[in-house]
Copies of this chain bind each other. A is one copy, B any other.
Amino acid sequence: VSRVAFAVHGGAGAMRQLRAAPDEEAALRRAIAACLDEGRAALAAGASALDVVERAVVRLEDDPLFNAGHGSALTIDGHVEMDATIVDGRGRATGAVACVSRLANPVAAARLVMQRTPHVLLVAEAAERFALAHGARAVDPASLVTEARRRELLRRREPGSGDAAGTVGAVARDRDGHLAAATSTGGLTGQLRGRVGDSAVVGAGTWADDATCAVSGTGHGEAFLRCALAHEVDACLRLRGMALGAACDAALARVAELGSSGGCIAVDREGTTALRFNSAGMLRGWIDEAGRARVAIYAGE
């Protein structure tokens, strides 16, 4: 049996609010651990990497603690607008949705785009109509809004007080050696209506190619777009022969050159896992070499 691998993230950022809220931090760690347990069991039972990353992201979208699906960050005028991408390492088949509000699980809609259209990215109301017509779970956008995100938006109106953490993502390698990655987000607190970040863009926030690696990023989306972060990791492996961790660090260094920060999780074709960030922290979990579920937030954990 070939080596399986699985990692998830729950966002990168300054983690200021988290340090002041030990109960919330513990709840986040438990949610990531539960996610890991489920993914590990599914991979052991022969599930595909694609199914496992979708399921992990759906689970985190449904959890109001994360900035994706229920609990998404709010736009400047208090709305939820979500982005998600899923990539299958087999041929880099890709689906994504951006700027959707009426879908409970944007990542599931992204998979519908991948499997039921000749397209890669559908946006806004047309994306919602498409997904709902193909069986996606509808939701009242107001039900996605949490009190915590309302407070965050109010704080954000005071300059310099915001923290854009909470994007979620997953990467996996299955028993058959296939890779997959998925990312989902509610975006930046206080963003303009219609803003789309890296989480809806293959090459920026997400990448998967059985020949190289699977990557899911989290951080300052505009900088990730301007670095094509996830594709940069792939390019560092493929064109430069770098190891996975070094490739992630090199790609994130380009984000830092733009004055921004963030992190990414990745697995390569051998099943090596890397979880790197240049922000103060990144909520992350992975299955270690001994098969144990590991969860961490800060550097050095």
Contacts and interface: CB of A to CB of B under 8 A. Distances in A.
Interface of A: 91-94, 98-99, 117-127, 129-130, 191-197, 201-204, 221-222, 225-228, 231-232, 235-236, 239-240, 258
B203 A94 contact: no
B228 A126 contact: no
Given A119-B197, A129-B193, 20 more contacts: A93-B226, A94-B222, A94-B225, A94-B226, A99-B123, A99-B124, A118-B222, A120-B196, A120-B197, A122-B192, A124-B125, A124-B194, A126-B194, A130-B193, A130-B194, A201-B201, A201-B203, A228-B228, A235-B239, A236-B239
Contacts of A222: 94, 118-120
Nearest to A202: B225
Contacts of A127: 194
A91 B258 CA distance: 7
B191 A203 contact: no
Given A239-B235, A239-B240, A225 B121 contact: yes
Contacts of A201: 121, 201, 203-204, 225
A125 B240 CA distance: 42
Contacts of A192: 117, 119, 122, 126, 130
A291 to B, nearest CB: 33
- Please classify the interface of chain A as helix (H, G, I), strand (E, B), loop, or mixed, using the class held by over half of its residues: mixed
A11 B155 CA distance: 47
Nearest to A226: B92
A172 B196 CA distance: 27
A192 B127 CA distance: 9
A123 B92 CA distance: 24
A161 to B, nearest CB: 15
A120 B231 contact: no
A121 B191 CA distance: 11
Nearest to A81: B126
Contact of A126 (B126, B193, B203, B221): B193
21 contacts: A91-B258, A92-B258, A99-B126, A117-B192, A118-B222, A119-B222, A120-B197, A121-B196, A121-B201, A124-B124, A124-B125, A126-B195, A130-B192, A201-B201, A201-B225, A202-B226, A203-B231, A228-B231, A231-B231, A235-B239, A239-B240
A239 B247 CA distance: 11
- Per CB-CB distance, the 3 closest pairs between chain A and chain B, nearest first, are A126-B194, A203-B228, A124-B124
Contacts of A226: 92-94, 120, 202
Contacts of A232: 231, 235
A192 B97 CA distance: 13
A194 B120 contact: no
A127 B124 CA distance: 11
Contacts of A203: 201, 203-204, 225, 228, 231
